[in-house]
Amino acid sequence: MSKSLLMAILFPLLSIIIITAFAGGLGVTFMLLEHYMHSETGILILGSSLVVGVPTIAALIQKKIEKSE
């Protein structure tokens, strides 16, 4: 099997596995928060911090990368 064909199969498969593992882990985290806190407060805080935090961190990393070039 050629190297390019192997990479064409391997990269999509790895991306599916990584995204599935991340989404599953995040789902389990939300379920455990709901189970142990007995209210929606923890879920709201975690969800809000993800919605605000991820784009903020991405923007800071992008700014740092652009500055170093």
Give per-residue pLDDT as tens, 24-52. Answer: 999 999 999 999 998 888 899 999 999 99
How many other CB atoms are found less than 10 A from the CB of residue 53? Answer: 11
Q: How many angstroms separate the CA atoms of 15 and 50, rounded?
A: 21
At residue 4, the pLDDT reads 87
| pTM, full prediction | 0.70
Contact in structure between 45 and 34 (CB atoms under 8 Å): no
**43: Cα within 13 Å, side-chain hemisphere:** 15
Average pLDDT, the chain: 93
Whether residue 2 is predicted with pLDDT greater than 90 in this model: the reply is no
**Looking at this protein, which amino acid is placed at residue 49?**
S
pLDDT at 1 > cutoff 80 = no
Q: How many helices (H) and strands (E) in the chain?
A: 2, 0
User: What pLDDT does 45 receive?
Assistant: 93
Tokens of 41: 């407060």
